[in-house]
Amino acid sequence: MATLINEVTIYTDGACSGNPGPGGWGVVLMAGGHTKELSGGDRNTTNNKMELTAVIKGLEALTRPCKVNLYSDSAYVINAFNQHWIDNWQRNGWRNKAREEVANVDLWKKLLVLTSKHDVTFIKVKGHADNEYNNRCDKLAVAAAAEFA
């Protein structure tokens, strides 16, 4: 009988050459002693879209509800959850403090659906530092972006 994997570590990163411009995202998933890498990109996108897409793709790769430790160097993504920006945005009809529509609402809504299926802890890591998995995600994202340049 297969071992049930309930705990997953996910590292994500997004990259963009120009903002907007060609962009890429990278994901490293780790569970039960196994590692899986994912990446992709878009010809005309933004850094924030790629950061969000990386998180979405990582969570979409999970086939059942899991306890997820999700690491990202994106303050945009991490703070949206840890500082409850996303709760305020929803309460305010997807408007920010300046009463402007929140950017990337479609991606935020998709991410909310995915996070409701899992127990996700968002953890901020320093980008371009000494974290091997964040650096690997960055390499995957940059390589994917280069395919669209």
Q: Is 128 a catalytic residue?
A: yes
d(CA 127, CA 119): 24
Q: Is 87 a catalytic residue?
A: no
Catalytic residue of the set 7, 60, 84, 128: 128
Q: Is 13 a catalytic residue?
A: yes
Q: Is 138 a catalytic residue?
A: yes
Which residues, in sequence order, are CB contacts of 113 under 8 Å at separation 6+?
A: none
d(CA 115, CA 86): 12
Catalytic residue of the set 13, 26, 40, 41: 13
Q: Is 106 a catalytic residue?
A: no
Catalytic residue of the set 23, 24, 41, 51: 51
Q: Is 40 a catalytic residue?
A: no
Catalytic residue of the set 26, 40, 41, 138: 138
d(CA 135, CA 58): 16
Catalytic residue of the set 7, 14, 24, 32: 14
Catalytic residue of the set 40, 42, 58, 73: 73
Cα dist from 61 to 10, 31, 56, 58, whole Å: 10, 12, 9, 5
Give the residue numbers annotated as catalytic, written as ranges. 13-14, 51, 73, 128, 138
